[in-house]
């Protein structure tokens, strides 16, 4: 499987002329005048639009958060890199026109095949009342070999460095897979008496204890030994990219795994997209296109981070067993005494089921009861925990209140 990436790239190269042809034809649509709205041309253009859009990209999409509502005012937002590291940046969504200082929040984004822009709506909502930063992970295929390795321990190190950069009084909001390294980072900072230890920690839909309520994702991770994952899912970055020679778990494989779990739904969505375009319903079609532009933007993970995550988080569940170590040091969640804990789960989450994230409460034995809260959000799946109307109207107030109480 080491040459799988080269095969994938060759396939993309073969399709490139057809995709360019479709783009050229779509560019000609505006020059056809009223003829472009006839039924037959519209169906033809709809087919080309769906075809050229059904492709994977490997660059981070734009966050596109230019303005945000703060109180009664619309406030401009600009992005600035607060700290640059080889495998990820600390990205700050700066707001210059806010008179009253707002609580600093670090959003810890997953490194799981997609870019941090998957949390765009999470960030946009938090920006209403907070000074927001995010872990903006880089595509491993674009990181030269000279930058070294990036494993689970490095992820924890990055989180600690980013929190220290924010300084005293910050808060953490972790979404999905990084709940485990985020909890480990806070535990280590607490044990060290680090002044930058976060005042609150919100864990949303994360696999603190996958065995508490196993899902199909957990079953997939456990049905094969870790050696199988290395032999069958790890490939080498082709020569044309900056990370040439680096061993990675390709983002296109992760996306394939995600899509296979809901293949009928994705097929139906693309058929609906075609029909909407053919019927001239551009607004409705753009919503589906926008989702897949983000969904098809994939990120490669380093071999070591992927394999260590599968092994330590999903197969051996080391954190839940009290056996997790970082650089040889045992992680002790019981050392967390002052960082308030909020866990959030979705009732219909089929990726990280109810019970997996709330398991953090049993691990954080040093926290007094009034510093622990749990929110179970009815009627939402995995993505509904951190995006959509129920996130904005029901989950976010819980997060905001926790931060406000500890600020």
The reply to whether 289 and 356 lie within a common domain is: no
> Does the residue 60 lie in any domain?
no
The reply to whether 163 and 271 lie within a common domain is: no
Q: Say how many residues make up the chain.
A: 407
Q: For residue 135, what is the domain's CATH number?
A: 3.40.50.1820
| Domain stops at, among 276, 295, 314 | 295
Range of 122's domain?
A: 67-219+301-406
The reply to whether 164 and 266 lie within a common domain is: no
Number of domains in the chain: 2
The reply to whether 283 and 353 lie within a common domain is: no
What is d(CA 288, CA 50) in angstroms, rounded to the nearest whole number?
11
The reply to whether 31 and 141 lie within a common domain is: no
**Backbone CA torsion sign across 196, 201, 203, 209:** positive
The reply to whether 279 and 308 lie within a common domain is: no
CB atoms within 10 A of CB 125: 22
| Tens of each residue's pLDDT in the chain, 407 residues | 667 888 888 888 888 888 888 888 787 777 777 776 777 778 888 888 888 888 888 999 999 999 999 988 899 999 999 999 999 999 999 998 888 899 999 999 999 889 999 999 999 999 999 999 999 999 999 999 999 999 999 999 999 999 999 999 999 999 999 999 999 999 999 999 999 999 999 999 999 999 999 988 888 889 999 999 999 999 999 999 999 999 999 999 888 877 877 788 888 888 998 898 888 888 899 989 888 888 899 999 999 999 999 999 999 999 999 999 999 999 999 999 999 999 999 999 989 999 999 999 999 999 999 999 999 999 999 999 999 999 999 999 999 999 999 98
What is d(CA 10, CA 235) in angstroms, rounded to the nearest whole number?
14
Which of 14, 46, 313 has its CA nearest to residue 155?
313
The reply to whether 181 and 315 lie within a common domain is: yes
The reply to whether 401 and 268 lie within a common domain is: no
The reply to whether 38 and 179 lie within a common domain is: no
The reply to whether 209 and 352 lie within a common domain is: yes
The reply to whether 277 and 390 lie within a common domain is: no
> Does the residue 225 lie in any domain?
no
User: Could you tell me the pTM of the whole model?
Assistant: 0.92
The reply to whether 306 and 206 lie within a common domain is: yes
């Amino acid at each position: 499987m080491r040459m799988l990436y080269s095969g994938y790239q060759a396939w993309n190269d073969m399709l490139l002329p057809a995709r360019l042809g479709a783009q050229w034809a779509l560019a000609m649509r505006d020059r056809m005048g009223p003829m472009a709205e006839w039924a037959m041309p519209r169906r033809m253009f709809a087919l080309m639009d769906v075809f050229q859009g059904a492709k994977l990209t490997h660059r981070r999409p734009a966050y596109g958060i230019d303005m945000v509502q703060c109180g009664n005012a619309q406030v401009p937002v600009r992005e600035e890199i607060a700290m640059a590291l080889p495998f990820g940046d600390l990205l700050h969504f700066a707001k210059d026109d806010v008179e009253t200082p707002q609580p600093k929040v670090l959003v810890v984004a997953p490194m799981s095949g997609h870019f941090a822009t998957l949390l765009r709506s999470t960030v946009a909502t938090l920006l209403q009342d907070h000074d927001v930063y995010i872990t903006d992970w880089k595509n491993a295929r674009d990181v030269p070999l000279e930058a070294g390795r990036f494993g689970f321990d490095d992820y924890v190190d990055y989180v600690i460095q980013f929190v220290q950069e924010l300084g005293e009084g910050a808060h953490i909001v972790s979404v999905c897979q990084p709940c485990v390294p985020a909890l480990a980072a806070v535990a280590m900072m607490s044990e060290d008496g680090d002044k930058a230890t976060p005042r609150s920690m919100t864990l949303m839909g994360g696999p603190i204890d996958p065995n508490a309520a196993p899902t199909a994702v957990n079953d997939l991770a456990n049905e094969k030994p870790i050696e199988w994952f290395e032999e069958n899912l790890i490939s080498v970055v082709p020569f044309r990219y900056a990370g040439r020679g680096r061993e990675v778990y390709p983002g296109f494989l992760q996306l394939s795994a995600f899509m296979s779990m809901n293949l009928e739904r994705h097929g139906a969505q693309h058929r609906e997209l075609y029909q909407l375009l053919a019927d001239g319903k551009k607004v409705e079609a753009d919503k589906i296109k926008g989702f897949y532009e983000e969904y098809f933007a994939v990120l490669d993970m380093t071999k070591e981070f992927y394999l260590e995550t599968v092994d330590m988080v999903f197969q051996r569940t080391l954190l839940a067993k009290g056996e997790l170590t970082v650089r040889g040091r045992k992680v002790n969640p019981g050392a967390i005494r002052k960082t308030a804990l909020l866990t959030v789960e979705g009732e219909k989450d089929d990726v990280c089921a109810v019970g997996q994230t709330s398991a953090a409460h049993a691990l954080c034995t040093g926290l007094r009861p009034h510093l622990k809260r749990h929110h179970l959000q009815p009627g939402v799946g995995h993505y509904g925990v951190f995006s959509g109307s129920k996130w904005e109207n029901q989950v976010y107030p819980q997060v905001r209140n926790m931060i406000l109480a500890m600020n």
